[in-house]
């Protein structure tokens, strides 16, 4: 019940028939007047639900979110936009809201038309099934190639943050086909939510990669019911920011751990960079290197691939600054390079988690990234995705 753990929320997840047998449509709403914000993929090929939801968010505070799986409603032209609007209008009529107060999210096959008749019938069932205990069903209904539901909860003094996410493949900023819906009863004024959401996303969903693929549909939505009986202070704001970041970090970790075909989670830490931006560029380059990821799958501590990737991190029209004579690298707890000198040590990389720590020795810039290995199963899953 993570998405409904905060006060003032109801959710449901139903089988609308978009997918053969699994739940495929989720509905989350505030029980009263709420506020909210969202962040979206930066892919130039924006899915119709992203286009429509961005328009809605520009003129109203979100009170409900509809999520369908199975069909992305992306690259579907004008009809796709009409279908996304029809989804929001039907949900609004059922919930007593204005269409602009409803955000619509979709995930699944790109280029396929949205089966609006199935979606609206599913919304009828979902609206009837709305419950403060419906979080688990909602979290299940948004999945595609995921092997498990992804939920998280964090509490602070007098408030709760809950969230659900889906994502297993096509994971890479900006954003990392991931969707996340976050809910809180912490009281937020109109327009405030984005100031808390943006830094939380930057440190979590925008710092993960499974396959380096940026989706057309990525979205992270934050809804606040404002139902927590507390008086806001600077200290409570700080506590809320930490709780929100904890939920986002937890969900992001679950996404990478459930990466398509993944057998290993890699934690990348870059320090000593000339700037924070360059640290993140280097961490991202390592995380998305096919050579690094295949070595991780083979449990082969081929750490030279890490250095090669780090030295070719795109930055500001060139590559991020790096001096090979200053670089130190620790691979899964074993120092393999110290100030540019190899240590003739062989790390143990047999486990399900691998840490890669790179100190550039240039400055104070640092960044972290999560990634997974690249396995045979990743190719199989994506070769057979539509069948």
126-154 burial, b if ≥16 CB within 10 A, otherwise e? Answer: bbebbeeebbbbbbbbbbbbbeebbbbbb
From 197, 294, 278, select the one nearest 243 (Cα to Cα).
197
Rounded to whole angstroms, the Cα distance separating 330 from 173 reads 26
Give the list of residues 6+ apart from residue 383 with CB closer than 8 angstroms, or none.
none
DSSP string, 261-273: T---EEEEEEEEE
* Number of residues that make up the chain: 387
- Which uninterrupted H or E stretch holds 278? helix 276-288
**Any bridge partners for residue 28, and if so which?**
11, 65
> Catalytic amino acids?
177
Instruction: Copy the structure tokens of residue 72.
Output: 């992305």
Do 222 and 199 form a contact (C-beta atoms < 8 A)? no
Rounded to whole angstroms, the Cα distance separating 107 from 24 reads 10
Do 309 and 291 form a contact (C-beta atoms < 8 A)? yes
């Amino acid at each position: 019940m993570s998405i409904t753990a905060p006060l003032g929320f109801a959710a449901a997840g139903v089988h609308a028939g978009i997918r053969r047998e699994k739940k495929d449509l989720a509905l989350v709403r505030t029980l009263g007047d709420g506020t909210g914000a969202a962040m979206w993929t930066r892919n130039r090929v924006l899915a119709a639900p992203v286009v429509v939801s961005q328009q809605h968010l520009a003129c109203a505070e979100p009170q409900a979110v509809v999520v369908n799986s199975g069909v992305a409603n992306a690259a579907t032209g004008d009809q796709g936009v009409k279908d996304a609007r029809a989804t929001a209008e039907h949900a609004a009529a059922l919930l007593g809201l204005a269409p602009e107060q409803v955000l619509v999210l979709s995930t699944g096959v790109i280029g396929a038309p949205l089966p609006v008749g199935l979606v609206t019938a599913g919304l009828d069932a979902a609206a009837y099934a709305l419950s403060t205990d419906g979080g688990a069903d909602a979290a299940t209904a948004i999945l595609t190639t995921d092997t498990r539901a992804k939920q998280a909860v964090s509490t602070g003094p007098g408030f709760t943050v809950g969230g659900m996410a889906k994502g297993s493949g096509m994971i890479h900023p900006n954003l990392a086909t991931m969707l996340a819906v976050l809910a809180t009863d912490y009281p937020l004024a109109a327009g405030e939510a984005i100031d808390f959401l943006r830094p939380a996303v930057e440190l979590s969903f925008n710092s993960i990669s499974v396959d380096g693929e940026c989706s057309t549909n990525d979205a992270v939505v934050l809804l606040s019911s404002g139902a927590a009986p507390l008086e806001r202070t600077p200290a409570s704001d700080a506590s809320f920011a930490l709780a929100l970041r904890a939920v986002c970090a937890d969900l992001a970790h679950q996404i990478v751990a459930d990466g398509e075909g993944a057998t290993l989670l890699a934690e990348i830490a870059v320090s000593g960079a000339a700037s924070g931006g360059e640290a993140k560029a280097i961490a991202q380059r390592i995380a998305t290197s096919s050579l690094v990821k295949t070595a991780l799958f083979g449990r082969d501590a081929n750490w030279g691939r890490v250095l090669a990737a780090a030295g070719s991190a795109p930055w500001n029209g060139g590559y991020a600054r790096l001096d090979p004579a200053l670089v130190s690298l620790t691979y899964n707890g074993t120092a393999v390079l110290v100030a540019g000198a190899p240590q003739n040590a062989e790390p143990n990389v047999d486990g399900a988690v691998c840490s890669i720590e790179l100190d550039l020795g240039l400055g104070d810039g640092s960044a972290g990234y999560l990634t997974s290995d690249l396995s045979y199963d990743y190719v199989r899953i994506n070769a057979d995705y539509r069948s």
